[in-house]
Amino acid sequence: MLDFSGPSFIIFLVLMLSIGICRADSDVNSGWQCSEADNSTSESSFRINLDNLLSLLTEKGPLHNGFFKTTVGRSSGKIYGLIQCREDVSTENCANCTRESIAVALHDCSKSRKVQVWLTWCFLRYSNEHFFGVWDQSSMARVNDTNFDDASVVSKGLIFMSEVATTAPKQPLMFHTAVLDAGQFGKRYGMAQCTRDISRTDCSKCLDTQLVTFRTTIGNKRGWEVYGSSCSMWYHDYQFYFNISIPKNEKFANTSRTYWQANFPESDRYGKPELCKSK
């Protein structure tokens, strides 16, 4: 588990310029985290085990309610991996996202033994160290730096997301969506999800930690996303998640700039999210 108070912890802040719009059914690279490059990853046993692991995740993940974890190899060559899709995405979209996350991992983290990739629809993680069932506090946040919300809505939004965080761990798949009616200011939409390898108790702790990120980092923004190793939260002023009532051409808020902040060890490499591109 990463220690936020330790000397090896650092906060990265990246400013991006948006060059278009994304749609509600878009799947984009939200970021990645890799351990230091390790040339020993080229060893045949590691590569074979990694290839077998990624093949299993690709095959099994979409067929198990969007979640699958497994271990491949023995002794020092053992690799632990999991894939988890958002519960609201289809099996087909889950499969596509799984393949894309693996492509990102192999392209940007080809020489790393510990890898995490966040896409809008799914989360891929693998490591040569056991992490199943262990709550990991590492996270990153995406937030628009100019799209401020009314103070009264911000206050209601925090209470609203606290309720989402309280409800999610109690759900069968530790996933929950909800809608806040902000009156004349419209609606706000919230979603929370934990990885299914952790306990419900740790899920609750994880989401509470994400709320701290909201209070200290995100503040009075109309929309934000916090991606973590064990849980994630989303909050926007448009309906971004899937169900039968969502128009397929629903647009992201038309904003100019987005901040990306991550809490990762100094030794790790990291990748900023992709920009939203016009169709």
Q: Residue 219 is part of a domain; what is its CATH number?
A: 3.30.430.20
Supply the DSSP symbol for 169: G
Look at 15-19, 102-106, 261-265 and tell me which has the smallest mean pLDDT: 15-19
Q: What is the mean pLDDT of residues 57-63?
A: 95
User: Is residue 221, in this structure, part of any structural domain at all?
Assistant: yes
User: Is residue 228, in this structure, part of any structural domain at all?
Assistant: yes
pLDDT at 98: 96
Render pLDDT for 61-93 as a digit per residue (tens, 0 to 9): 999 889 999 999 988 789 999 999 999 999 999
- Residue at a domain's end among 82, 101, 127: 127
pLDDT at 29: 64
Whether residue 223 sits in one domain with residue 188 = yes
pLDDT at 3: 33
Whether residue 231 sits in one domain with residue 155 = yes
Render pLDDT for 179-199 as a digit per residue (tens, 0 to 9): 999 999 999 999 999 999 999
User: Is residue 5, in this structure, part of any structural domain at all?
Assistant: no
Q: 40 falls in which pLDDT band (50, 70, 90)?
A: low
Domain that holds residue 208: 135-253+260-267
Whether residue 150 sits in one domain with residue 89 = no
- Residue at a domain's end among 127, 148, 173: 127
Whether residue 246 sits in one domain with residue 147 = yes
User: Is residue 14, in this structure, part of any structural domain at all?
Assistant: no
Whether residue 67 sits in one domain with residue 95 = yes
- Residue at a domain's end among 127, 161, 177: 127
Lookup: tokens for 269: 């490499």
The strand ranges marked E within the chain are 9-17, 29-34, 67-72, 79-85, 115-119, 122-127, 139-144, 175-181, 187-194, 224-228, 231-236, 257-265, 269-271
Whether residue 234 sits in one domain with residue 155 = yes
pLDDT at 2: 33
pLDDT at 39: 66
User: Is residue 276, in this structure, part of any structural domain at all?
Assistant: no
In this prediction the pTM is 0.78
In degrees, rounded to 5, the angle at the alpha carbon of residue 75 between the alpha carbons of residues 71 and 76 is 100
Whether residue 79 sits in one domain with residue 173 = no
Does 168 have pLDDT greater than 90?
yes
Instruction: Kindly state the helix (H) or strand (E) to which residue 218 belongs, with its residue range.
Output: none
